[in-house]
Amino acid sequence: MKNRSRSSGRWLAEHEQDAFVRRARAEGWRSRAVFKLMDIQRRERILRPGMTCIDLGASPGGWSQYASTIIGARGRIIALDILPMEPLARVQFILGDLHEPESLEALKRALGGAPAELVLSDMAPNISGIAAVDQPRAMELTELARDLAYEVLEPGGSLLLKAFQGAGFQELVRSLRTGFGTLKTRKPPASRPRSNEVYLLARNYRMV
């Protein structure tokens, strides 16, 4: 317990000193993760006015908050998380778990039979620090996001997916190359260097 307390204390101290945390607070963003999406948007232009977007692992809402400034009132953002999220203008939030069929059905109902143009996933498991436990959990979440994208994306749509390099990563990459026309790997500056997280940007969905 003492070791866990020391570890938590170190994490909190580092978090408070983090430049992206301070910037997010100063600029009114809900999380530092917004700067990861900002960097990818600047390079790739995946968000467009008027589009329909799904945001998985959305809470506390940084990605949806930023996406709504680009998508605007003519578009739609449907966000989902197992944790509650404070309301955001022009964002429809679903409290749910993609492991549960009910959550998938709720997303489909929210779409109203229409396809999405973009699926975003910043989902990650609670980290135990044990790689043999954490990596399979992380891969399961990436596979859930990928499978959802296969169900709801329109032809030519895109998926931006947080993934963790390790066991199962190359298999995930191969499956995305089958389902999409192009695949890029991105490591935004806001992604902590010691983390093995990367973002996979799959574009031009081919209706597998």
Catalogue the active-site residues: 162
Q: What is the pTM of this model?
A: 0.91
CATH superfamily assigned to domain 32-205: Vaccinia Virus protein VP39 (3.40.50.150)
Q: Which residue, 40, 2, 84, 56, is CA-closest to 189?
A: 40
Cis peptide before 60 (omega within 30 of 0): yes
pLDDT per residue, tens digit, the chain (208 aa), is 444 454 455 545 555 679 999 999 999 999 999 999 999 999 999 999 999 999 999 999 999 999 999 999 999 999 999 999 999 999 999 999 999 999 999 999 999 999 999 999 999 988 888 888 889 999 999 999 999 999 999 999 999 999 999 999 999 999 999 999 999 999 999 998 888 999 999 999 998 6
Degrees, nearest 5: CA angle 189-193-195: 115
C-alpha span between 108 and 182 (Å, rounded): 26
User: Domain ranges in the chain?
Assistant: 32-205
